[in-house]
Amino acid sequence: MKTFNDTSESDRLNQTAASSESQNVYLTISSPGLLDTLTFRPIPRQKPGVGEVEIEVSATGLNFKEVLLALGLVPVPNDFNFKFGLECVGKITALGEGVESLAIGDEVIAFGTSCFSRFITTSAQLVASKPAHLSLEEAATIPVAFVTAYYALIKLGKLRQGERILIHSAAGGVGMAAVQIAQWIGAEIFATAGNDEKREFLRSLGIQQVMDSRSLTFADEVMKRTEGKGVDVVLNSLGGEFIAKSLAVLGRYGRFLEIGQRDILNNSQLGLQPFEKRLSFFAIQVEPELPNFSELWREVVKHFNNKNFTPLPHQVFPISEIVRAFEYMTAAKHIGKIVISWQDKREVEVEKNNVLTSPSPQFFAKALPIKFIENGLLPSEGINVFRRILESKLPQVLVSTRDLTTLIARHNSDSILSFSETGEKANLSQAIHPRPELSNAYIPPLNELEETIANIWQKFLGVKQVGIYDNFFELGGHSLLATQVIAQMRLAIKMDLPLSILFDAPTIAEISQYIEKIRLTTKKFQAPINTELDDRMEIEL
């Protein structure tokens, strides 16, 4: 979220909201896929209606789904006023008619649809009193993670003492909540995680059976450690081949609890042969519309009041570093939850709505101060101005194709650089470790296409050498890094590759074969393109 530092207050496109802490703002994104276009915009506070309450937000939990929305991997509603935030902790500031179980000033935990706002109004049925022994940030780790895990394991999975459960990605928010619930029940836990640090953390919790979530060898390990009997329940968030392998480790009458969405949205095919073992498959999406959701939510909070469960490990970011928090989750290094603190609400940068929506001739004078025209614009500032021009509702905008493409490509490249734990951008052009020991030999790229893909992998994975038969995930890749790599491959080869390609074809050789096949097919049906004309074209938007 960059700001223009013009000396004239009236001409600023962004301003710090320090005039009144009672002003409401909400978080939205202007360009899904570019995290630095996350921005706060002003919005009126909503008076609570019948059965509703208004809450001043103190802390908000960040969820994987919101990161996918921001990265453009899940369609963002085509709505200028789209808002992020599924859960929060705060203090009640107003009550609607008929609300008797809560009082103004109560500290509460809540579900909502705009919890990355300074004030939210939500149904009192989605609000519970905060357990007194928990801090605000600790309480923010509870709603989504624990309600999802509790509903999956207790209500659907019917997990019982002495049963075996496989929990994939067990170091994440829902995964760690599931670990606590399974331990409370007395189940035997098999867990997977994506790196050594996370696996060691799970072992420190007393879990003896810990495996790699990035390798399909987990299935053989589970069957070996259970003497071929398998497990009773699987809590799955992995995709592709991992689903079939996870079904294969279920014993007779096993229950498969699917909390991932990618394969469901992609209509992925699933063989039915494993269901000969009388398996049950549950696709789980916990949301307030779920029948008896309020009772489920209060049941979870009661367990915290009774100290059966404890808050998740978490990392706190101030609200002023909201972009960095999203970027940190994309790196998939965190354990437990990421929580955003609203402790100093004056740090929020608010984007003026009137500049964005005004189509008047004065728009350009306000949007582009003279000193910026004289000195030129940085690429990121140019993108910011371009977005505002498009949002101005002017009838026509002409843009040079070549210059715009270069600008966007450079900006995209800058915006997806991974962040280290200190928040500094990693230098993707500098390899940080040699090629790991793999079961396959190193075979270098054999043509220009394979070399192009290998260079992209080397930069993002930090590996000095990548062979064409090396598995992306065995090299240290993960699902969120995959989305960034795919974005760069799309730019480099100028082809709209599917988001699932790294899961379906995890080696450079397989991807290269896929691309060449598409190119061959396209050549048969397309006429030659006049590239000279294309370079001179201007595009009307």
Q: Is 221 left (phi over 0), alpha (psi -120 to 50) or beta?
A: alpha
- Output the pLDDT for position 93: 97
Sheet holding 188-193, edge to edge: 209-212, 188-193, 164-167, 231-236, 250-258, 280-283
Structural element, H or E, at residue 253: strand 250-258
pLDDT tens for the 541 residues of the chain, in order: 333 333 333 333 333 333 446 789 999 988 887 888 899 999 999 999 999 999 999 999 999 888 888 887 766 665 545 679 999 999 999 999 999 999 999 999 999 989 999 999 999 999 999 999 999 999 999 999 999 999 999 999 999 999 999 999 999 999 999 999 999 999 999 999 988 999 999 999 999 999 999 889 999 999 999 999 999 999 999 988 899 999 999 999 999 999 987 778 778 888 899 999 999 999 998 988 999 999 999 999 999 999 999 999 999 999 999 999 999 988 877 899 999 999 876 566 676 543 333 333 333 333 333 333 334 444 554 555 555 556 544 555 555 444 444 444 444 444 433 333 333 333 444 446 788 888 888 888 988 999 999 999 988 888 888 999 999 988 888 777 887 888 889 888 888 888 778 888 889 999 998 888 888 776 554 444 333 323 322 222 2
Q: Say which residues have a Cβ less than 8 Å from residue 32's Cβ, sequence separation at least 6.
A: 69, 70, 71, 72, 76
Q: What's this model's pTM, rounded to 2 decimal places?
A: 0.68
Among 17, 21, 25, smallest CA distance to 116 is for 25
Q: Is 345 left (phi over 0), alpha (psi -120 to 50) or beta?
A: alpha
- Angle (CA) 233 303 55, round 5°: 115
- Output the pLDDT for position 416: 38
- Output the pLDDT for position 461: 87
The residue behind tokens 């582009």 is 368
- In this structure, the strands spanning 164-167 and 231-236 are parallel
Amino acid letter for position 17: A
Contact 339/61 with Cβ under 8 angstroms?
Answer: yes
All structural domains of the chain: 19-141+311-344 (3.90.180.10), 145-283 (3.40.50.720), 394-525 (1.10.1200.10)
3-state secondary structure of 407: helix
Rounded to whole angstroms, what are the CA distances from 237 to 234, 240, 355, 427?
Answer: 10, 10, 42, 30
> Could you give the count of Cα atoms lying within 13 Å of 336 in the half-sphere of its Cβ?
18
CA distance 37 to 386: 12
Q: Burial-class residue 178 by CB neighbours within 10 Å (0-12, 13-18, 19+).
A: buried
CA distance 231 to 148: 21
C-alpha 185 chain-centroid distance: 30
**Using CA of residue 426, residue 427, residue 433, residue 434, what is the dihedral sign?**
positive
- Residues linked to residue 539 through DSSP beta bridges, in sequence order: 399
Which two three-digit tokens encode residue 397? 């905008």
Among 131, 161, 162, smallest CA distance to 146 is for 131
CA distance 508 to 341: 42
- Residues linked to residue 337 through DSSP beta bridges, in sequence order: 314
CA distance 345 to 539: 42
Amino acid letter for position 42: P
Contact 147/296 with Cβ under 8 angstroms?
Answer: yes
